[in-house]
């Protein structure tokens, strides 16, 4: 089987830093992606890691350790608009579909 584990909920205040962890167990691994989804909307791409290490894109960073089957999404300088669901997703082979984790609901308060 395959599984992607991430916390179900995280709460934080504006301006804070939040880390959302993802551990995965899949029959094949090519890379780890992160997506954001607001209520009623479609997922939007945030970041991708194919190799170990940190990828930084503005306020968001993502990290991958292939040997630990572990990654995280780091959100800095949180804003109210960051309140959403965040999904980690594994790509098992290039060009194949995403296998999504169960998602983490982030609530940012003022």
Handedness of CA 51, 59, 34, 3 (dihedral sign): positive
- Cα gap 55→95, rounded to integer Å: 21
80 scored as a contact of other proteins (CB under 8 A): no
Round to whole Å and give the CA distance between 31 and 12: 28
45 touches other proteins by CB under 8 A: yes
Asked whether the CA dihedral 73, 76, 78, 82 is positive or negative, the reply is negative
Rounded to the nearest whole angstrom, what is the least distance from the CB of residue 85 to other proteins in the complex?
9
Report 85-104 residues binding other proteins (CB under 8 A): 87, 91, 94-103
Contact flag: residue 73 with other proteins (CB under 8 A): no
Q: Is 71 in the site for other proteins (CB under 8 A)?
A: no
Q: Is residue 98 within 8 Å of residue 2, measured between CB atoms?
A: no
Candidates 29, 31, 82, 84: give the one binding other proteins (CB under 8 A). Answer: 31
Residues lying near other proteins in the complex (CB under 8 A): 30-31, 33, 35, 41-45, 48, 50, 87, 91, 94-103
């Amino acid at each position: 089987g395959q599984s992607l584990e991430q916390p179900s909920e995280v709460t934080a205040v504006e301006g804070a830093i939040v880390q959302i962890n993802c551990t995965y167990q899949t029959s094949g691994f090519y890379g780890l992606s992160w997506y954001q989804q607001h209520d009623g909307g479609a997922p939007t791409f945030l970041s991708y890691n194919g190799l170990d290490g940190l990828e930084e894109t503005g306020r968001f960073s993502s990290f991958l350790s292939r040997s630990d089957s572990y990654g995280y999404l780091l959100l800095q300088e949180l804003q109210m608009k960051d309140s959403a669901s965040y999904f980690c997703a594994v790509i098992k082979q290039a060009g194949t579909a995403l296998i999504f984790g169960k998602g983490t609901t982030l609530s940012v308060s003022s």
